[in-house]
């Protein structure tokens, strides 16, 4: 086990593992990552040296309905009660939010008489785009600190976990959503059916539900094992989502493929009984691609374990060579992906001097498990590392452009996934692969 590791045993009363959608027994293992720390948990800089808590992280596939999911989960209140991720930190995500708001407003003819509601609204980045267009909005998020930030930005936000109970309370207050969206949220909710039934309850009769989730097919094709962590309970295909939403009387009428998170789905759904929106050709085309790629059998998911081993081997080998050569390595992006990858590779402060991150909630703390310090991005200029390891590889273009100044001292970027690449930094922000 890696240093600073303390496994939290599951309660003796925990029920046998069963699929959270269909209830069948979970017997097929896709990948076992052992005991890992919570990916978005941070440790105070002066915290005692005692090991950080770790929890089992094992991905199973239901052989009955083919929903990929964690066998066991950590307490949601522990993960989401206070949250360190802020949507507004990344220019990429701000632009993504603005595009979605503009697209949805035009496509679904939203006006100042509409209500837009977001589940897992974080600091209000996306809802603020609708508010700027004069459209009433309401956010729901369980993290008190980020919900408070959203309210400071003028976005009405309810601090709560979302499910049927919260949806019923919203209905009692007269809230039904003309556009209801949950971006990168559904995979975080262990009580999946409770959440989906709540979505159906609070969606207006002619309303539109939009859900963004990382696409499990893209994850498998791109060797994206570091998207597996305790917050991500589920790994969805369009085919499985079709069945899950259908169980609550919701029907998919369109799907968009997005580049976010290395490949995501944006699902548009409506009440099946309403059928207001014509079903496009996209859902069947995407589900056919999933069938052709082998997602109709659980065996396809076992490739994730091999991919994880390759990526971890590549990073560990690079870090060992850098230390042997006397080269200094820093990292950028104390994101969940990075926490997962660093701990899987057994990285320590002896390998990586610090992780720079623009999020002020993370600066001055340490990455959980490996205990590498988190600092402000300006530290990179002062330290002049030989290599900058880009941990959120899905934002590599933005990060390498922003940090192009490392070319001044011959610094280079390392992109660890899906295959390790070393990239020359250039002052014009257009990095090239190093020979």
pLDDT of residue 83: 55
Same domain, 292 and 326: no
Same domain, 380 and 323: yes
In a domain, 79, yes or no: no
Same domain, 55 and 20: yes
Distance, in Å, from the CA atom of 390 to the CA atom of 367, rounded to the nearest integer, reads 15
Residues 6 or more apart from 266 whose CB is under 8 A from it? 210, 211, 212, 255, 256, 257, 258
In a domain, 18, yes or no: yes
H helices of 48-188, in order, are 76-80, 91-107, 125-132, 144-152, 164-172
Which of 31-50 are b and which e, b meaning 16 or more Cβ less than 10 Å from the residue's Cβ?
bebebbbbbbbbbeeeeeee
Q: Which domain, by its residues, includes 230?
A: 87-296
Average pLDDT over residues 91-107: 90
pLDDT of residue 77: 60
In a domain, 240, yes or no: yes
Distance, in Å, from the CA atom of 56 to the CA atom of 396, rounded to the nearest integer, reads 29
In a domain, 304, yes or no: no
Average pLDDT over residues 15-28: 87
Same domain, 117 and 194: yes
In a domain, 112, yes or no: yes
Q: How many domains are contained in the chain?
A: 3
pLDDT of residue 435: 46
Distance, in Å, from the CA atom of 381 to the CA atom of 413, rounded to the nearest integer, reads 14
Token duo for residue 7:
């496994």
Q: How far is CA 240 from the centre of its chain?
A: 19
Furthest CA-CA distance within the chain:
66
Distance, in Å, from the CA atom of 344 to the CA atom of 336, rounded to the nearest integer, reads 12
Same domain, 133 and 213: yes
Same domain, 99 and 210: yes
In a domain, 71, yes or no: no
Distance, in Å, from the CA atom of 231 to the CA atom of 64, rounded to the nearest integer, reads 24
Same domain, 203 and 263: yes
In a domain, 234, yes or no: yes
pLDDT of residue 110: 97
pLDDT of residue 255: 98
Whole-model pTM: value is 0.84
Give residue-wise pLDDT tens across range 354-388. 999 998 888 999 999 999 999 999 999 999 999 99
Do residues 347 and 319 touch, judged by C-beta distance below 8 A?
Answer: yes
Lowest model confidence (mean pLDDT) among 1-10, 344-353, 420-429: 1-10
């Amino acid at each position: 086990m890696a240093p600073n590791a303390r496994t939290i045993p599951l309660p003796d009363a925990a029920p046998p593992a069963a699929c959270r959608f269909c209830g069948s027994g979970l017997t097929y293992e896709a990948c076992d990552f052992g005991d890992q720390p919570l990916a978005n948990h941070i440790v105070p800089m002066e915290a005692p040296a005692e090991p950080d808590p770790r929890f089992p992280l094992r991905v199973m596939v239901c052989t009955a309905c083919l929903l990929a999911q964690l066998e066991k989960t950590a307490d949601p209140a522990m993960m989401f009660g206070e949250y360190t991720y802020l949507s507004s930190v990344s220019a990429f995500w701000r632009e993504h939010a603005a595009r979605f708001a503009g697209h949805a407003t035009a496509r679904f003819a939203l006006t100042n008489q509409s209500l837009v509601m977001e589940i897992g609204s974080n600091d209000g980045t996306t809802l603020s785009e609708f508010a700027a267009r004069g459209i009433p909005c309401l956010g729901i998020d369980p993290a008190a600190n980020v919900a408070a930030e959203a309210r400071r930005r003028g976005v009405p936000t309810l601090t709560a976990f979302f499910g049927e109970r919260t949806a019923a309370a919203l209905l009692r207050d007269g809230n039904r959503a003309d556009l209801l969206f949950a971006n990168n949220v559904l995979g975080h909710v262990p009580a999946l059916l409770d959440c989906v039934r709540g979505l159906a309850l609070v969606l207006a009769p002619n309303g539109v539900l939009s859900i963004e989730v990382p696409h499990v097919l893209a994850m498998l094709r791109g060797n994206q094992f570091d998207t597996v962590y305790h917050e991500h309970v589920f790994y969805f295909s369009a085919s499985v989502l079709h069945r899950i939403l259908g169980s609550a009387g919701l029907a998919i009428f369109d799907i968009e493929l997005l580049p976010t998170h290395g490949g995501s789905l944006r699902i548009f759904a409506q009440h099946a009984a309403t059928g207001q929106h014509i079903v496009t050709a996209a859902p069947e085309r995407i589900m056919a691609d999933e069938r052709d790629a082998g997602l109709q059998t659980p065996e396809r998911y076992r490739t994730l374990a091999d991919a994880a081993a390759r990526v971890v081997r590549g990073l560990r080998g690079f870090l060992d060579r850098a230390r042997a050569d006397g080269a200094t390595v820093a990292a950028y992006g104390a994101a969940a992906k990075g926490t997962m990858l660093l701990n899987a590779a057994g990285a320590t402060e002896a390998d990586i001097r610090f992780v720079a991150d623009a999020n002020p909630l993370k600066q001055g703390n340490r990455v959980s498990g490996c205990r590498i310090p988190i600092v402000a991005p300006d530290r990179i200029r002062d330290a002049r590392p030989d290599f900058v390891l880009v941990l959120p590889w899905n934002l590599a273009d933005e990060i390498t452009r922003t940090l192009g100044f490392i070319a001044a001292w011959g610094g280079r970027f390392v992109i660890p996934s899906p295959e390790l690449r070393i990239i020359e930094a250039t002052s014009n922000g257009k990095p090239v692969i190093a020979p």
